[in-house]
Amino acid sequence: MIKIVSFDIGGTLLKNEDLGSQNQYGLKELTKLLNLPYENVRDAYKDVFQKTKGSFNELISKFCNKLGIESNKTIIDFFHNKFFIESKKQVILSEDVSLIKNLKSNGYKVILFSNSCCLLNNDTINEVLDYVDNIFYSYDIGYTKDDEESYKYIEKVMNVKPNEILHIGDTLKSDYYMPKKHGWNVLYYGNSDEADVKSIEFLIDLIDILKI
């Protein structure tokens, strides 16, 4: 029986105001700028920006050291825009706030689980803080959704079994396949061509799925 509903934050609860715009500050774009293998950039980004805390300059320095490159204006500008400009464009829809209130009124606990950076402006999520039971940021717990330890940590804190949690998010690997691998119930927020993926187009569809 599902006792907890878990939401990813960026791209799920928080959406960019211009939904049709291309993500200029994703890892694939950064890879092009650095002219390095995507896997190397991805791993360095996760290990530094998503698993640790620090000032902007400290995290930039750690990131560059991990990749064996020198910091430069291109890198600094990229991360400045990503963390301080683009994050301000994110909004949470009123219907999503209403959904969380509905879940709470029907006896579900609600948590937020995000691979995030401590530099991101998370003020927008304050709209739902009074209605959630806990927030798990990767930089706080030291593990991302790709790490088995993150699931065990949340289960222990929330005192539930894996099959008592339903997670919803917009990234197939970290929000669907990884939590599913660790025994969580999952829903992909978006459209997928993969037949085995259970997905929803709108978060409000949870009402019908949970029959509340």
Q: Which domains does the chain have, with CATH numbers?
A: 4-17+91-209 (3.40.50.1000), 27-88 (no CATH)
Confidence of residue 121 (pLDDT cuts 50, 70, 90): confident
Confidence category of residue 193, pLDDT binned at 50, 70, 90 = confident
pTM recorded for the entire structure: 0.93
Q: Taking residues 47-69, what's their average pLDDT?
A: 97
Q: What is the mean pLDDT of the segment spanning 49-62? A: 97
What digits encode the pLDDT tens for the residues 26-50?
889 999 999 999 999 999 999 999 9
DSSP-H helix ranges across 48-133: 56-67, 73-80, 94-105
Type of residue numbered 85: I
Residue 56 is predicted with a pLDDT of 97
Residue 9 Cα distances to 122, 143, 204, angstroms? 9, 16, 15
- 22 pLDDT more than 80: no
